């Protein structure tokens, strides 16, 4: 396995500075954010460390040179919009940019791209399914042709009032993953697996590693703390952020020993990237770097340094 981090935590850094920080701390890789250039109001969104617009051979050469200079690999290109949102024009822009990120990943030889399925949050899973079948087969077929694997993060994106009640990403439970892969059985269609979301949804986060072993293309290392006192006051029907908090690995309720033991059991050899969303470490860039150092120290207990 390779230990890395998601670059969204360093929004003010350029790619060179991201690589330099990763190398100085001791990481092996980074998942690089590739949002379209411009603002996005969603937390951790809108970060552009590699622009997939007009991506050229010169960009490939520059990025590859930086990677070699600092000894840091790119685990995947990441872009997490809602391509099944109700506005067809907005959804079209998201799908167009997903295709550009897939193409950039192929040109760079990374061959891995992470994203969301998307969802109309006011409709049920069944009501969303025709849009899923209308949208995703074409994207996966394009990824197949470019030999780029698509890892779908299992975040429900159902945290706040504007995402309530259904959330903005269909791919949040094993039952839905099975349905997705039955309808689109491509080997290029898999998971960017994050255990933290299953914890606050009161689900087993270790068993799916075994059940979906051949679909896990990439892993996010994020922890979570469920505040039982708050949950006892508001119940599970409250907005989820009313009773749980994202944490750094080791500061929440994920049993990382069991988690990595199961990854070892299935022979997983891919990237594990820290996703820092712990508000206790967001006060400054130095706080974010401190979080990355702490995560590196903790997770090296499970992912040895490469020789």
The percent of residues in the chain predicted with pLDDT above 70, rounded, is: 99
Q: How do the domains of the chain map onto residue ranges?
A: 2-301
Question: Residue 127: what pLDDT?
Answer: 98
Query: pLDDT tens across 72-121, in order?
Result: 999 999 999 999 999 999 999 999 999 999 999 999 999 999 999 999 99
Strand intervals (E) in 136-288: 149-153, 189-193, 216-221, 223-226, 244-247, 271-274
d(CA 81, CA 98) in angstroms, rounded, equals: 9
CATH number of the 2-301 domain: 3.20.20.150
pLDDT value at 283 more than 70? yes
Structure confidence by residue, pLDDT tens digits, 286-306: 999 999 999 999 999 999 987
What pTM, to 2 d.p., does this model score?
Answer: 0.96
| Confidence category of residue 282, pLDDT binned at 50, 70, 90 | confident
CA 234 to each of CA 197, 215, 225, 230: distance values in angstroms, whole numbers, following the listed order: 19, 35, 16, 6
Q: Can you tell me whether residue 267 is helix, strand or coil? A: coil
């Amino acid at each position: 396995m390779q230990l890395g981090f998601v670059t969204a935590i360093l929004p003010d850094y350029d790619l060179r500075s991201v690589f330099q920080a990763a190398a100085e701390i001791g990481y092996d890789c980074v998942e690089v954010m590739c949002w379209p250039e411009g603002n996005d109001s969603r937390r951790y969104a809108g970060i552009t460390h590699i622009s997939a617009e007009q991506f050229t051979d010169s960009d490939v050469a520059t990025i590859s040179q930086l990677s070699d200079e600092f000894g840091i690999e790119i685990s995947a290109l990441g872009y997490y919009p809602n391509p099944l949102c109700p506005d067809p024009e907005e959804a079209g822009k998201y799908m167009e940019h997903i295709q550009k990120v897939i193409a950039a990943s192929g040109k760079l030889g990374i061959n891995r791209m992470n994203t969301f399925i998307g969802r109309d949050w006011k409709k049920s899973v069944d009501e969303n399914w025709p849009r899923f079948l209308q949208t995703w087969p074409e994207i996966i077929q394009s990824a197949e042709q470019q030999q780029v694997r698509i890892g779908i993060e299992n975040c429900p994106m159902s945290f706040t009032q504007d995402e309530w009640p259904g959330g903005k990403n269909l791919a949040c439970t094993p039952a839905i993953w099975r349905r997705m892969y039955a309808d689109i059985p491509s080997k290029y269609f898999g998971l960017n697996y994050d255990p933290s979301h299953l914890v606050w949804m009161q689900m087993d986060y270790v068993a799916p590693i075994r059940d979906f072993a051949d679909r896990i293309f990439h892993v996010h290392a994020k922890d979570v703390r469920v505040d039982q006192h708050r949950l006892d006051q508001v119940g599970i029907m409250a907005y989820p952020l009313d009773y749980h908090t994202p944490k750094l690995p080791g500061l929440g309720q994920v049993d990382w020993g069991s988690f990595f033991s199961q990854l070892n059991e299935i022979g997983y050899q891919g990237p594990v990237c820290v996703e820092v969303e712990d508000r206790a470490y967001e006060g400054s860039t130095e706080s974010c770097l401190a979080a990355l150092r702490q995560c590196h120290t903790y997770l090296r207990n499970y992912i040895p340094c490469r020789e």
